Amino acid sequence: MRNLRFRLTNSTQKRVDWRKLLRFKDSVSAVLQVKVADHRYPINFQADCGGTIAREVAAGYGEGRRGFLVTDEQIATAQAAFLAVAFGKMPSLALPAGEGTKSLTQLGVIWDFLAEHRADRRSVVWLVGGGVVGDLGGFAAATYLRGIDCVQVPTTLLAMVDSSVGGKTGLNLSAGKNLAGAFHHPTAVHICPAFLQTLPPREFAAGAAEVIKYGLLGDAALFSMLETQPLAPDRPQLTEIIRRCCALKAAVVESDPQETAAENGRALLNLGHTFGHAIERVAGYGAYLHGEAVAVGLCAAARLSRDLGLVNETEVARIDRCVAAHGLPTRLREPLPLAALLNAMANDKKNRGGALRFVVLETIGRAVTRGDVPAAAAEAVWRELGAV
């Protein structure tokens, strides 16, 4: 397998050998370790994780550690049998589904749930769902009693390849996406690709945007695979592709755990997100799924990279075709006001000293951060993609 390469700083590059990162026990189950400072946790890949989770839950109770399940209403209905097998009669909370749940109001609902059931500092919160449940529930775990353990059980492609790994938690504010949050790594992540067989096609496509992102920022061979054959729930290589994305994210997170690198580092994982978060904020949370907004953001980042003289029009076209082949938008579905988009970008977490910072492509498979992008360049990209 070809080596993954991504840029950590302006002066150094790190090569990541997939053969060392992905030492799987067999073709069905596997474990990838994430090591951040003195914290280490496994990402478990399994054909059916219900039994494994049930054993972990039972072991926790045997050690006097109580568990609490947080999920959403759609998962509670669609995966009722799995939840019964894995968690039994554990106290559970089902939140409303959708991006609007990542709010202060629903954070308070989780806190109250934990308090009502007398969760203590040895308790474990099991987070079963997509990125909304993982982000919000992780933030609740990070802040309840000043921090209790959580375990991520992602049920969407987007959560499997991205939000469940790395310890970022948070919620949305009226001013912007994910502006409140904390770094709180799980004690384990359980990835069961079988969940994807029942995922609505639109949700699956939204997750594919994050997979494309990983190919663009650090794995040109992966991007070529996606060009040749778009992702599908029944694609034989799907589990391996999910592992590949998790390994890339783990490597980036280990190099820059709290996104403090002066350049590049963990910020590279936000390729397409400066534009994407602005779309979500201005269109209204829920109008675009997160992955759909990121897909447009990837096309925007490609154009910005072209305008900065880094990539050519052929590469931009390749990115557009790959995004479109996965059933994702390549431009705004309807015009959005340019002024509002620029204002939303001004609240992006990567900004420093009031200046915008972007993740751009030096080529397909290698990304860097840039803080010297003229505002006019971003405006031109927005107009090209349908802003008014």
- List pLDDT tens digits, range 88-135: 999 999 999 999 999 999 999 999 999 999 999 999 999 999 999 999
Cβ neighbours for 280, distance < 8 A, ≥ 6 positions apart: 99, 177, 287, 288, 290, 293
Where the chain has pLDDT below 50, the residues are 1-29
Looking at the domain that runs over 48-191, which CATH code has it been given?
3.40.50.1970
Ranges in the chain annotated CATH 3.40.50.1970: 48-191
* pTM, entire model: 0.89
Q: Which CATH number fits domain 204-224+253-384: 1.10.10.10, 1.20.1090.10, 3.90.79.10, 3.40.50.10860?
A: 1.20.1090.10
Q: Say what the pLDDT of residue 353 is.
A: 65
Q: Say what the pLDDT of residue 354 is.
A: 67
How many Cα atoms are found within 13 Å in the side-chain-facing hemisphere of 53?
34
Helix and strand totals (H; E) in the chain:
15, 13
Cβ neighbours for 23, distance < 8 A, ≥ 6 positions apart: none
**Taken in order 111, 113, 114, 117, is the CA torsion positive or negative?**
positive
pLDDT digits (tens, 9 = 90+) for 194-244: 999 989 999 999 999 999 999 999 999 999 999 999 999 999 899 999 999
**Taken in order 12, 1, 365, 250, is the CA torsion positive or negative?**
negative
Q: Say what the pLDDT of residue 25 is.
A: 35
Q: Say what the pLDDT of residue 5 is.
A: 42
CB 222 within 8 A of CB 6: no
Ranges in the chain annotated CATH 1.20.1090.10: 204-224+253-384
